[in-house]
């Protein structure tokens, strides 16, 4: 995995922030909301009478919620496992449409916000799951805990017999473990006795998601209504129990009618789930501001994870031990090598694992956004669910109500917007919590359109969000990649409510980088190599958020102004297992590694590991050297030229020299008139390469670009088996599929 690859962690959820003192005194657990919305002045002055009133309000609210629940059918939970936000977006759109279809009680949560315990306890009768996979069939970060518990063999048979479910799986068939996570959900729910109320779908990105997902969602409503409102007469008829409480409110949320202007397929306006409570207590505000200024605090730095893995919520703060460019100053590309000092962290990583880094947005972008929104970045806020008892007392509320908030509160609402780590300053939330630069999703365009004062600007934004505006969306949004600030500047009449905006913006995701070292060769360090991302769009030059942030931070070292030891920089990171993508334990096992560009980074770690293991191994009888006694290890690397971007160039030769690598090929694509890539060099190795990959136990590892390179390499492997193994194309494909299943053909690719 490389930095540009969307991250395995989209949620960035935070450990509970310290609660206001008054809240602690009143006996609120961390994460619970003050009934008055958490506004400190009221809580601070609260005597017995106020607390009694608050308690009475909560009880009344709970009783009302229970009454509404009984009258309005069973609750539908739309849960997502999402790394880069697509499943989350689909889930939110489905939930936003629920009330329009007469389903009054619904909520949308990540699996880990939902919690396995509630599902196992029968509190979630209807579950629509939207799930993707990340890494090599890995679980998105916001579902790791849930799926871990779901998969436990000790879960009793029939545990989920009262649950009705369906799964929409998103995946990409270029990946070795296609649909691994959605299939795990489906299989385990079925095994534990749950009933599928609507056919599951596996939507493959290779075929384009939109059309298939739209069709699946269109078909979902009938069965979902049957499940939620058992006497419902079908999707086109009226809800069986009369006009549901949500139905009236739904009119202006509906996709077609709500957007108006004859636009079709505009996502429903998702209800804003949160209200913001501004901190009025000076002492409390000063405490929050001081904690942010001191970030990372001594407690952050002292954080130690017993398993040595860490997480986006509790990262390890690693010192930068070294940084240098692997590309020449003349090169168009800039690839940076950074070594992190992880000594004392207990991080026992393995080659093939990745580091997740928690980046920050560009401060200039954040300041520009604050100015455009007319907001004070120093203002401190907390978050409370819309529909909670003190809603009316909220100093700042959003415009829409939430169909789901009452029920989510009744069932113990999760902490909302955990990635903002509130209470915090608004500037902090935008800098660390929100994704401000990814191509805006349609639900965000809908929200922005809804808050334009100018009718033409509103229509333009809604058009981009509509089905009919597909081409404009592809060109202006997907290709143009406008940041949120670009859009707000282009549509000056747009003034979205802050709570709705913070609720709609995706979390700023951690970025994953393949580890490029072995702990055996660099004890206490973990190295990464990544391209500093720059790309041209219709809106001009763009910069990758994380790689630009990292490159700036280490500039004093790369420019030679400071030695690494003089830079007191610490960065938050965590470890993610590479799963099957790791060198075979047995040194006799033949391995083929293919990694052009920064895809070669993990193989530097593989080979360092191999070199050290070979050195440690007792002498092998009859062999000239340790390396000769080991199985063959081949590497195919590709870059543009030897002068510009020959990443770790001298190190490959050293691996050949000391016998760690038994065969090395490099394709300099621009060194001659016609382009030469790794797959061309593989073809030239014909018979010898065929012998390698068909040897007993042989492993093939591919790392890098999934859109082109991985496909070309796969096709080359197929033709190699055809030509040299007398197989038909189908047999060759089946042989590779079998190797995939046995975890001997493993790809770590990104597109």
Ligand X SMILES: Cc1cc2nc3c(=O)[nH]c(=O)nc-3n(C[C@H](O)[C@H](O)[C@H](O)COP(=O)(O)O)c2cc1C
Binding site for ligand X (CB under 6 A): 1, 5-6, 82-88, 132-137, 140, 170-172, 175, 177-180, 205, 750
Minimum Å gap between C-beta 436 and ligand X is 17
Nearer to ligand X, 507 or 631 (CB): 507
For residues 444 and 430, give the distance between their C-alpha atoms in angstroms, rounded to a whole number.
16
- Strand 106-110 to 633-639 pairing: unpaired
Nearer to ligand X, 5 or 370 (CB): 5
Which of 669, 660, 656, 662 has the alpha carbon at shortest distance from 688?
A: 662
For residues 441 and 27, give the distance between their C-alpha atoms in angstroms, rounded to a whole number.
40
For residues 430 and 454, give the distance between their C-alpha atoms in angstroms, rounded to a whole number.
26
Angle CA 561–564–569, to nearest 5 = 100
Nearer to ligand X, 178 or 428 (CB): 178
Minimum Å gap between C-beta 207 and ligand X is 12
Which of 171, 47, 140 has the alpha carbon at shortest distance from 706?
A: 171
Nearer to ligand X, 139 or 448 (CB): 139
Minimum Å gap between C-beta 430 and ligand X is 22
As to burial, measured by CB atoms within 10 angstroms (0-12 exposed, 13-18 middle, 19+ buried), residue 330 is exposed
The single-letter DSSP state of residue 139 is: P
For residues 48 and 28, give the distance between their C-alpha atoms in angstroms, rounded to a whole number.
15
Q: Which residues pair with 355 in a beta bridge?
A: 513, 575
Minimum Å gap between C-beta 605 and ligand X is 18
Nearer to ligand X, 140 or 239 (CB): 140
Angle CA 665–669–671, to nearest 5 = 100
Minimum Å gap between C-beta 324 and ligand X is 26
Minimum Å gap between C-beta 357 and ligand X is 15
Cα atoms found within 13 Å of the Cα of residue 380, Cβ hemisphere only: 22
In the chain the first and final C-alpha atoms are separated, in Å, by 10
Nearer to ligand X, 1 or 635 (CB): 1
Give how far the C-alpha of residue 239 lies from the chain's centroid of Cα atoms, to the nearest Å: 37
Nearer to ligand X, 75 or 112 (CB): 112
Dihedrals phi, psi of 275, to nearest 5 degrees: -120, 150
Q: Which residues pair with 571 in a beta bridge?
A: 318
Residue nearest to ligand X (CB): 171
Minimum Å gap between C-beta 209 and ligand X is 6
Report helix, strand and coil shares of the chain as percent, to nearest 5: 40, 15, 40
Nearer to ligand X, 46 or 706 (CB): 706
Nearer to ligand X, 134 or 483 (CB): 134
Minimum Å gap between C-beta 751 and ligand X is 7
Nearer to ligand X, 175 or 340 (CB): 175
Nearer to ligand X, 499 or 512 (CB): 512
111 Cβ contact partners less than 8 Å away, ≥ 6 residues apart: 79, 80, 81, 129, 142, 143, 145, 146, 147
For residues 57 and 50, give the distance between their C-alpha atoms in angstroms, rounded to a whole number.
10
Minimum Å gap between C-beta 229 and ligand X is 29
Nearer to ligand X, 140 or 583 (CB): 140
Q: Give the per-residue SS3 of 559-627.
A: CCCCCHHHCCCEEEEEEECCCCCCCCCCCCCCEEEECCHHHHHHHHHHHHHHHHHHHHCCCCCCCCCHH
Minimum Å gap between C-beta 204 and ligand X is 8
Minimum Å gap between C-beta 83 and ligand X is 3
Minimum Å gap between C-beta 706 and ligand X is 8
């Amino acid at each position: 995995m490389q930095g540009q690859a969307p991250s395995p962690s989209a949620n960035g959820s935070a450990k509970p922030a310290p609660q206001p003192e008054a809240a602690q005194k009143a006996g609120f657990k961390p994460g619970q909301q003050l009934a008055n919305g958490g506004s400190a002045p009221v809580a601070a002055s609260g005597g017995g009478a106020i607390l009694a009133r608050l308690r009475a309000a909560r009880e009344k609210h709970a009783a009302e919620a229970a009454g509404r629940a009984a009258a309005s059918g069973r609750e539908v939970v739309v849960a997502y496992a999402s790394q880069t936000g697509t499943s989350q977006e689909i889930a939110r759109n489905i939930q936003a449409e629920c009330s329009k279809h007469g389903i009054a009680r619904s909520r949308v949560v990540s699996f880990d916000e939902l919690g396995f315990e509630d599902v196992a306890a029968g509190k979630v009768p209807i579950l629509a799951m939207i799930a993707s996979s990340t890494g090599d069939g890995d679980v998105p970060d916001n579902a790791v805990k849930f799926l871990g518990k779901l998969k436990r063999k000790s879960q009793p048979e029939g545990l989920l017999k009262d649950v009705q479910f369906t799964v929409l799986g998103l995946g990409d068939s270029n990946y070795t473990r296609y649909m691994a996570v959605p299939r795990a959900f489906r299989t385990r729910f079925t095994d534990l006795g749950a009933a599928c109320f609507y056919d599951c779908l596996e939507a493959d990105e290779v075929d384009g998601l939109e059309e298939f997902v739209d069709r699946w969602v269109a078909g979902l409503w009938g069965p979902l209504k049957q499940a939620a409102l058992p006497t419902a007469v079908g999707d086109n008829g009226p809800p069986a129990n009369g006009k549901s409480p949500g139905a009236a409110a739904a009119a202006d949320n509906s996709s077609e009618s709500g957007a108006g202007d004859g636009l079709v397929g505009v996502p429903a306006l998702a209800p804003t789930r949160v209200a913001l409570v501004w901190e009025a207590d000076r002492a409390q505000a000063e405490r929050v501001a001081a904690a942010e200024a001191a970030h990372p605090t001594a407690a952050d730095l002292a954080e130690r994870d017993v398993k040595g893995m860490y997480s986006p919520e509790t990262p390890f703060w690693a010192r930068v031990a070294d940084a240098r460019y692997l590309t020449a100053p003349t090169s168009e590309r800039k690839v940076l090598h950074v070594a992190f000092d992880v000594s004392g962290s207990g991080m026992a990583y393995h080659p093939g694992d990745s580091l997740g880094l928690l980046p920050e947005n560009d401060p200039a972008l954040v300041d520009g956004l604050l100015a455009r929104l007319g907001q004070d970045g120093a203002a401190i806020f907390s978050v409370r669910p819309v529909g909670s008892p003190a809603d009316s007392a909220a100093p700042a509320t959003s415009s829409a109500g939430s169909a789901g908030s009452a029920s989510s509160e009744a069932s113990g609402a999760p902490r909302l917007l955990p990635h903002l780590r509130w209470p915090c300053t608004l500037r902090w939330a935008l800098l660390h919590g929100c994704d401000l630069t990814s191509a805006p999703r349609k639900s965000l365009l809908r929200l922005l359109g809804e808050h334009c004062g100018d009718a033409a600007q509103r229509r333009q934004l809604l058009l981009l969000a509509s089905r009919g505006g597909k081409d404009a969306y592809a060109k202006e949004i997907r290709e143009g990649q406008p940041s949120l600030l670009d859009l707000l500047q282009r549509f000056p009449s747009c003034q979205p409510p802050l709570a709705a905006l913070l609720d709609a913006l995706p979390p700023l995701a951690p970025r994953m980088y393949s580890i490029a070292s072995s702990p055996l060769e660099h004890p206490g360090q973990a190295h990464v190599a990544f391209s500093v991302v720059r790309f041209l769009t219709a809106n001009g030059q763009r910069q990758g958020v994380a790689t630009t942030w990292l490159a700036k931070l280490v500039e004093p070292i790369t420019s030679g102004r400071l030695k690494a030891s003089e830079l007191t920089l610490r960065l938050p990171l965590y470890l993610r297992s590479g799963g099957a993508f790791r060198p075979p334990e047995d040194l006799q096992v033949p391995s083929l590694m293919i990694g052009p560009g920064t895809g070669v980074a993990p193989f530097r770690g593989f080979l360092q590991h191999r070199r050290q293991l070979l050195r440690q191994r007792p002498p092998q009888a009859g062999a000239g050297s340790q390396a000769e006694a080991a199985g063959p290890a081949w590497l195919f690397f590709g870059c543009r030229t030897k002068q510009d971007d020959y990443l770790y160039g001298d190190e490959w030769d050293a691996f050949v020299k000391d016998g760690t690598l038994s065969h090395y090929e490099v394709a300099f694509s621009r060194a001659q008139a016609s382009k030469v890539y790794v797959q061309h060099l593989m073809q030239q190795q014909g018979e010898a390469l065929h012998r390698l990959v068909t040897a007993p136990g042989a492993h093939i590892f591919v790392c890098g670009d999934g859109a082109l390179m991985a496909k070309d390499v796969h096709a080359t492997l197929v033709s190699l088996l055809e030509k040299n193994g007398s197989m038909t194309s189908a047999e060759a494909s089946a042989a590779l599929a079998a190797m995939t299943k046995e975890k001997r053909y493993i790809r770590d690719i990104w597109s």
